[in-house]
Structures are given as C-alpha cells and as structure tokens.
Amino acid sequence: MAFSSNDLKNGMTLDLPEGLFQVVEFQHVKPGKGGAFVRTKLKNLRTGGTQDRTFRGGEPLNQAIVEKREMQLLYRDGDGYVFMDVQSYDQLTAPSAALGDAPRYLKDSDNAVLAFYRDEIIGVELPSSVDLAVAETEPGLQGDRVSGAKKLATLETGLSLQVPLFVNIGDKVRVDTRTGDYLTRV
C-alpha cells in the first residue's frame, strides 16, 4: 500500500528495498531554504537493528500490512514451536529463529501475539511480565543476609537470571519480559 513520507507515524511498518522496518520515531523538518524532509529512526523487524534514515517530503513509500493474531503455545517440537490460533484453532509450527527471545519467557499453554507479514512471522508481543517457576538455584545460606545479594537461578523455560538469596527451587518468580530481570516472588 503506497503512501507519502509526510504521513509517517510511530509504529508504522515500511516495506523498503533493504527489508521490513518499523518507524520508532520521526520528525518533520522544514528548513528555511530547500524542501521539507522527514528524519526517522527505523527498526529492522528481521534483525532487530536500528538505523537513522531521511526521506524527502512527499516521497512515496510502501506500507507493509502487518496482521497480529493471538496464539497459544501448545508445545515444543524439535527446533520449532507449535502455536494454535485462539479464534480459528488453526495450528502452525514456528521456527525458533523467527521468535527471537520469546521462547525464554513462554511455557506451554501461554498466550502471545504473533505479528505476520504475508506468511512470515516478524515479531512476538509478550505481556510485560510473566510468572515462571525456579528449576535450579543454590540454596540461600543461613546468616547470609547481605542487603541486595543475588544468586543465579535457572527457570522452567531455561532462562537464567539473578534472583535474591531467599528464592528457592519451586518458587514462582515474576520476570520482566522487556529486560529479562527479576521483579518479585509470586
């Protein structure tokens, strides 16, 4: 779908010759001399990298129509993950490379929003935090009560992170999916 660079908005997805990009931020600039232009910061949806790019005012661009569907993770299948559409009940197997870091925060029967461009998965939207059980960690030692002390823990999905000393195996902890940090014990 074609549109003008003057119509750019944050969150729009562009289909450029270099790949698929999402507009992170933009600024319309009208200098005293010369034509107007649009300065943008773009995120590559396939690699995750960002780049700055300037477009002439009124330059034609192609907008990529991205479809978002709520899917439920059913199970892991080798190197892929089998998801079910919660509305149509259709199943699809997604390769782990297409999901990025999302599998570190998803366990079976969890829901996530998958973004599709044509038939390709280009992103996964997770809730801001998830609750996961601690699978492995060293026991906290009696008398070791240094304020703010941490230890390494491995969660049920294989994610490793630093947790406070009082967290034990079997405890559920809340993890921030944006940073991968421990938030609280649940």
Same domain, 121 and 137: no
Q: Which two tokens stand for residue 136?
A: 């492995």
* Whole-number percent of the chain with pLDDT over 90: 54
Last residue of a domain, one of 42, 62, 82: 62
* pTM for the whole structure: 0.77
- Per-residue model confidence as pLDDT tens digits over 96-125: 888 888 999 999 999 999 999 988 888 889
CATH classification of the domain holding 83? 2.40.50.140
- Taking the CA atoms of residue 155, residue 156, residue 159 and residue 160 in that order, the dihedral angle to the nearest 10 degrees is 30
Same domain, 154 and 170: yes
| Contacts of residue 118, Cβ cutoff 8 Å, sequence gap at least 6 | none
Per the structure, the count of domains in the chain is 3
Residue 158: give the domain boundaries.
Answer: 129-185
- Per-residue model confidence as pLDDT tens digits over 3-35: 888 889 998 999 999 889 999 999 999 888 888
- Per-residue model confidence as pLDDT tens digits over 147-157: 678 889 999 99
pLDDT of residue 144: 59
Nearest to 134 by CA among 169, 181, 105, 160: 169
Same domain, 55 and 88: no
Last residue of a domain, one of 62, 91, 111: 62
